[in-house]
Chain A
Amino acid sequence: MKKTGSQILCESLINEGVDTMFGILGGVIIPFYDTLPQYPQLKHILVAHEQGGAHAAEGYARATGKVGVCIATSGPGATNLVTGIADAYMDSVPLVAITGQVARSLIGKDAFQEIDITGITLPITKHNYLVTDTASLAGIVKEAFFLARTGRPGPVLIDIPKDVLTGLAEFNYPEQVSLPGYKPKVQGHPAQINKAAKLINDSKKPLIIAGRGAIISESYNELKQLAETAQIPVITTLLGISSFPESHILSYGWLGMHGMAYANLAVEECDVMIAIGMRFDDRVTGKISGFAPNAKIIHIDVDPAEIGKNVRVDIPIVGDIKPILQNLNKAIEQQDHIDWISRMDYLRKEHPSINIRDADCIIPQYVIRQIYESTQGNAIVVTGVGQHQMWAAQHFWFDKPNSLITSGGLGTMGYGLPAAMGAKVACPDENVWCIDGDGSFQMNIQELGTIARENIGVKIAILNNGFLGMVRQWQELFYQRRYVATPLSCPDFVKVADAYNIPGITIKNKIDVIPSIKTAMETEGPFLLNFIVEPEENVYPMVPAGASLSEVLEEPIKKVRCK
């Protein structure tokens, strides 16, 4: 029996294990939505803006490791997804974006709401498709999910003309994909693994840098075994946070522009660097010529194009991280590295980096620490982008695997609220905290509507300093305090939440911080906390753009200006 393209799409999605989609409909994609009631196992969450839908699908994907799905109509619906797709591309998030397209006869005619979304998303997708006939739809969906989730995960877009959705075809879901040009390498080369093991066994000052690849591949145990067997200090990238428990004795924080000074200084001193599932972003390396000057670098990554892209690599190992680490661990000798560990401890003592000073007013770091204490770390933290993001990464202790969801590569303000929404939908039994800034929060504030309607129990903590704080910090430090276009005039966020029937509290006094967090936790459903914090607090440590990691600025003695 023949089925419509819409039915084929729904059944293909079900075959791929999809249970939740985030989207908004529009003219050309009505046929798909019209079919949804036939498939109650496909839950569709109507978002307020397509960008929110894309980030929600990302949050869902990052919390579960499954492929996130977002839907939009043609034209502006599709272009509104672009930021979310780009974000997923930069952070290797498995995402399938489905867009409606005008009917085939109208393509190329500048029809109403026609846009070349496959052209637009060419450089920000792992692959994309314009479906040209109903019979090929099922095969394309199969390929899209396969591409999104395998190898280095990433976003795939499927653009479907309206008449492909309404057209008829036989439905046979293919068992396999045929992609001769796509061979994600799984097994690391044994000779390379042996060379790496020898280098590690001979090293005096080895250092592990774990990135998001360690989380994607779920190599938590393998990473721990490697570190513990040879007593290797572990630092992570921003996106690698929660790949290794931060309260572990071998954990030395994370590196980069706002990473811990001791982590950055360790990079300078190490003699062997074991880089696992990371890509040497400029925010991680600082000035590239000054990066790890004394180290031989072992780079383990599933993407061969990442090897040697930014830094010279001495021993590349391309493949799936988990089996590579398993094999590497077999060849690693027990060591204690007492001198190196005590050097690391000395660096940490001399450069504490994340002490929170006493203050009478609310400083943002204190709020983060109290959320950590109150939840006892048992939460998934989702952030926006800016100062609050760095403080959350610094002052929350991430012991739980995969417990920080943050926009790293693209640095997308407005990511926090929708991504937290997606994470909470994916993991309804987890405590999901959206830690956001007042600027970032306002960029997708409309998703409060989605959260309210679906009763998604996200706890929202806004660190409200009345500025686009990270930019203000750069203006303070590098532009002689000329605060051009950074002061914000925010609405009363509690009143906004109230308009959506979401309860909230504004907190102006330090004494109210802990009780308010408790109230949020004890209240069923979503809750908003609006923390009025010290406005000109800066994020330290800081490696200025273009400087070497060793040129890290640490917190100066600063008089607290309490209101």
Chain B
Amino acid sequence: MLTTKHTLVAMVTDKPGVLNRAASLFRRRGFNIDSITVGHSELPHISRMTIVVIGNSAMVEQVRKQLEKLVDVIKVADVTGAKTIIRELALIKVNAPSTTRSEIMQIVDIFRAKIVDVSSDSLIIEATGDEDKLSSFYNMLRGFGIKELARTGCVAMIRGGAKSAAIDKESLKDIQ
């Protein structure tokens, strides 16, 4: 079966250990995780996880079901097929002596990235985009000498009015 990247969005209760439970599950069942992020959602006491997993559709379906079995996980949706905005943020510290600085700044412009820190011989660049864009940006900068790279992992949202992983608000009324 075809192995591809899938993006899962999980709504989880904001309890200690919930990330550990998810990560432990992936490790123990041998699921190949490309990135995992977690942060606040629009709902109080509910966090949103975005998981990028590499595998065939049967395996990804197992990941989704096993995740949903966790008591702290309220809802998991595979948003891969949907029209989705996927974004990731990267901070890149690149060598930038005066000889190459302007060339770097042009590339930054083309990729609509931002320079957020300047020193005599380096720049920190903030870039957002999907994974492909960030990878090509990184490749463009590589020749200048990259000192540090930090990427956040992906977050995803379905376009239009539909919820990415709709959950029944009624079921949340007692959560605090």
List the B side residues contacting A178 at CB < 8 Å: 173-175
Chain B residue at smallest Cβ distance from A179: B71
List the A side residues contacting B171 at CB < 8 Å: 180
- Nearest-CB distance from B31 to chain A (Å)? 13
List the B side residues contacting A118 at CB < 8 Å: 17
A478 at the interface (CB under 8 A from B): no
| B13-37 residues at the A interface, CB under 8 angstroms | 13, 17, 20-21, 24-25, 28
**Known contacts A304-B68, A305-B65, A309-B62: does B20 contact A181 (CB below 8 Å)?**
no
A127 at the interface (CB under 8 A from B): yes
Query: Do residues A181 and B13 form an inter-chain contact, with CB atoms below 8 A?
Result: yes
Query: Do residues A126 and B58 form an inter-chain contact, with CB atoms below 8 A?
Result: no
| B160-175 residues at the A interface, CB under 8 angstroms | 167-168, 171-175
Chain A residue at smallest Cβ distance from B24: A122
Chain B residue at smallest Cβ distance from A122: B24
Query: Do residues B66 and A305 form an inter-chain contact, with CB atoms below 8 A?
Result: yes
Query: Do residues A182 and B25 form an inter-chain contact, with CB atoms below 8 A?
Result: no
- Encoded as 1 (CB less than 8 Å from any A CB) or 0, chain B from 67 to 90 comes to 011111111000000000000000
A308 at the interface (CB under 8 A from B): yes
List the A side residues contacting B123 at CB < 8 Å: none
A382 at the interface (CB under 8 A from B): no
Query: Do residues B74 and A181 form an inter-chain contact, with CB atoms below 8 A?
Result: yes
- Nearest-CB distance from B24 to chain A (Å)? 5
Chain B residue at smallest Cβ distance from A183: B171
From the candidates B69, B75, B174, B175, name the one contacting A303 in the complex (CB within 8 A): B69
**Known contacts A178-B175, A180-B175, A308-B61: does B71 contact A123 (CB below 8 Å)?**
no
Chain A residue at smallest Cβ distance from B69: A305
From the candidates A119, A147, A304, name the one contacting B71 in the complex (CB within 8 A): A147
From the candidates A147, A181, A304, name the one contacting B12 in the complex (CB within 8 A): A181
From the candidates B12, B71, B168, B175, name the one contacting A127 in the complex (CB within 8 A): B71
List the B side residues contacting A123 at CB < 8 Å: 24-25, 28
List the A side residues contacting B174 at CB < 8 Å: 178
Chain B residue at smallest Cβ distance from A151: B69
Query: Do residues A181 and B21 form an inter-chain contact, with CB atoms below 8 A?
Result: no
| A252-311 residues at the B interface, CB under 8 angstroms | 303-305, 307-309
List the A side residues contacting B175 at CB < 8 Å: 178, 180
A304–B58 Cα distance when bound, in Å, is: 13
Query: Do residues A304 and B65 form an inter-chain contact, with CB atoms below 8 A?
Result: yes
A147–B12 Cα distance when bound, in Å, is: 17
- Nearest-CB distance from B166 to chain A (Å)? 13
- Nearest-CB distance from B3 to chain A (Å)? 17
| A139-185 residues at the B interface, CB under 8 angstroms | 147, 178-182
List the A side residues contacting B17 at CB < 8 Å: 118
**Known contacts A122-B21, A123-B24, A123-B28: does B62 contact A181 (CB below 8 Å)?**
no
A307–B68 Cα distance when bound, in Å, is: 14
A527–B79 Cα distance when bound, in Å, is: 62
| B85-138 residues at the A interface, CB under 8 angstroms | none
Query: Do residues B28 and A180 form an inter-chain contact, with CB atoms below 8 A?
Result: no
List the B side residues contacting A304 at CB < 8 Å: 65, 68-69
A147–B72 Cα distance when bound, in Å, is: 12
- Nearest-CB distance from B42 to chain A (Å)? 15
- Nearest-CB distance from B49 to chain A (Å)? 12
List the B side residues contacting A305 at CB < 8 Å: 62, 65-66, 68-69
List the B side residues contacting A182 at CB < 8 Å: 71
Chain A residue at smallest Cβ distance from B70: A181
Query: Do residues A181 and B61 form an inter-chain contact, with CB atoms below 8 A?
Result: no
Chain B residue at smallest Cβ distance from A182: B71
List the B side residues contacting A308 at CB < 8 Å: 58, 61-62
List the A side residues contacting B58 at CB < 8 Å: 308
* Most B C-beta atoms less than 10 A away, residue of A180, A181, A182: A181
List the A side residues contacting B20 at CB < 8 Å: 119, 122
- Encoded as 1 (CB less than 8 Å from any B CB) or 0, chain A from 110 to 125 comes to 0000000011001100
List the A side residues contacting B173 at CB < 8 Å: 178
From the candidates A126, A180, A303, A307, name the one contacting B13 in the complex (CB within 8 A): A180
List the B side residues contacting A303 at CB < 8 Å: 69
A303–B58 Cα distance when bound, in Å, is: 16
Query: Do residues B74 and A180 form an inter-chain contact, with CB atoms below 8 A?
Result: yes
Query: Do residues B65 and A180 form an inter-chain contact, with CB atoms below 8 A?
Result: no
List the A side residues contacting B71 at CB < 8 Å: 126-127, 147, 179, 181-182
A499–B12 Cα distance when bound, in Å, is: 55
Query: Do residues B172 and A180 form an inter-chain contact, with CB atoms below 8 A?
Result: yes
A403–B27 Cα distance when bound, in Å, is: 37
- Encoded as 1 (CB less than 8 Å from any B CB) or 0, chain A from 334 to 360 comes to 000000000000000000000000000
Q: Other than A122-B20, A123-B28, give 13 A-B pairs with Cβ distance below 8 A.
A: A118-B17, A122-B24, A123-B24, A178-B173, A178-B174, A178-B175, A180-B171, A181-B71, A181-B72, A304-B65, A304-B69, A305-B65, A308-B58
A sample of 19 cross-chain residue pairs with beta-carbon separation below 8 angstroms, ordered by A number, consists of A122-B24, A123-B25, A123-B28, A126-B71, A127-B70, A178-B173, A178-B174, A178-B175, A180-B13, A180-B172, A181-B68, A181-B70, A181-B71, A181-B72, A182-B71, A303-B69, A304-B65, A305-B66, A307-B65
The 4 closest A-B pairs by CB, nearest first: A178-B174, A305-B65, A180-B171, A181-B74
By a beta-carbon cutoff of 8 Å, the part of chain B in contact with chain A is 12-13, 17, 20-21, 24-25, 28, 58, 61-62, 65-66, 68-75, 167-168, 171-175
